[in-house]
Amino acid sequence: MNKIIIISDYFVFKLSDRYVVSHNFYLFLILGLTKIINDRFQEQFCTSLIRKVRKKQGWTLCGPRYCQLIRDVNCGKRLEFCLKVQADKDQFDDVIFTDESTIEMDRHGRICFRKRNRLAIFKPRPKHPYKVHVWAGISKRGPTDIKIFTGIMRKEFFADELLKNGLIPFVRTYYPDGHRFQQDNDPKHTSHYAADYLKDNGINWWPTPPESPDLNPIELIWHELKTYIRTKVKPINKEQLVDGIAKFWTTVDHAKCTRYINHLHKVVPMVILREGKASGY
């Protein structure tokens, strides 16, 4: 009778006239080969046995996790940035983290129950759902106003509308003693037009490495906002979407901003540990 051979961290099976090698016994379950194996060995392999063998070999089962795609050239920049932050024991007390995001109207989840042998319930979805863009900033002294707009954000609109009416008043009011302004490396942000505007208005731009959304805690705010819109507001028109965004922003206070910013103390060591690759946060 053929047997299972374990060589180092591999499982080797002899099926018919060929050998199959795998890191993980579950691969055979996924491929539907359990029956073939049981028939071949004239034994039934239970799930508990599979778990024990896999655990003995040092394997653990987990699903893939989404992370930001980071090119090798930027891993070094991220590592260097995080090492400096750690060496300086930066608490980010004077940093204003800003970003834009897009909120779609019909991205609310829905689950349905139906009896067997009944027709499935369909949810209509427009081909081009209505969406708006939002811009805002957070700091340990509280959030900026949130700006809601539609259309394409060009460099002129970014500087003359968002920075002028969103960032500048906040800096003048809450950071008269000095600040650092953080934004990603979007071409509109780094354009000469925007850079000159920042310089002319005394804004201290704090450059951060490219491809680093995990180093901007406002991304956590956007995630919470989208979850709120999807599960609580469930808008069916433009007014409900805009009102839902505005209502959510009233819950973003000094304490919430501080909690999310302090999350960087988990992210930075993980980026260092992974040598500049995605932290997973």
Poorest-confidence range of 117-131, 135-149, 206-220, 231-245?
Answer: 117-131
Average pLDDT over residues 192-196: 95
Residue 68 pLDDT? 80
Position with higher pLDDT, 113 vs 175: 175
Helices then strands (H, E): number in the chain?
12, 8
Q: In the chain, which segments carry CATH 3.30.420.10?
A: 72-273
> Is the pLDDT confidence value at 267 over 90?
yes
For the chain, give the number of residues.
281
Residue 105 pLDDT? 83
pLDDT > 90 fraction of the chain, expressed in percent and rounded: 60
> Is the pLDDT confidence value at 4 over 60?
no
229 CB neighbour count, 10 Å cutoff: 22
Residue pLDDT, tens place only, 6-60: 444 444 544 444 444 454 555 544 445 556 656 777 766 666 666 677 788 887 7
Residue 161 pLDDT? 95
* CA gap 165, 34 in Å, rounded: 64
* pLDDT category of residue 177 using cuts at 50, 70 and 90: very high
Residue pLDDT, tens place only, 232-254: 998 888 999 999 999 999 999 99
DSSP 205: B
Residue 175 pLDDT? 96
> Is the pLDDT confidence value at 125 over 80?
no
Long-range contacts of 63-67 (CB under 8 A, 24+ apart): 65/280, 67/278, 67/279, 67/280
Residue 1 pLDDT? 43
Poorest-confidence range of 71-85, 93-107, 197-211?
Answer: 93-107
* pLDDT category of residue 99 using cuts at 50, 70 and 90: very high
pLDDT > 70 fraction of the chain, expressed in percent and rounded: 78
Poorest-confidence range of 2-16, 119-133, 140-154, 208-222?
Answer: 2-16
* CA gap 170, 142 in Å, rounded: 10
* CA gap 272, 83 in Å, rounded: 7
| Cβ atoms of 101 and 149 closer than 8 Å | no
276: left (phi over 0), alpha (psi -120 to 50) or beta: left
The architecture CATH gives domain 72-273: 2-Layer Sandwich (3.30)
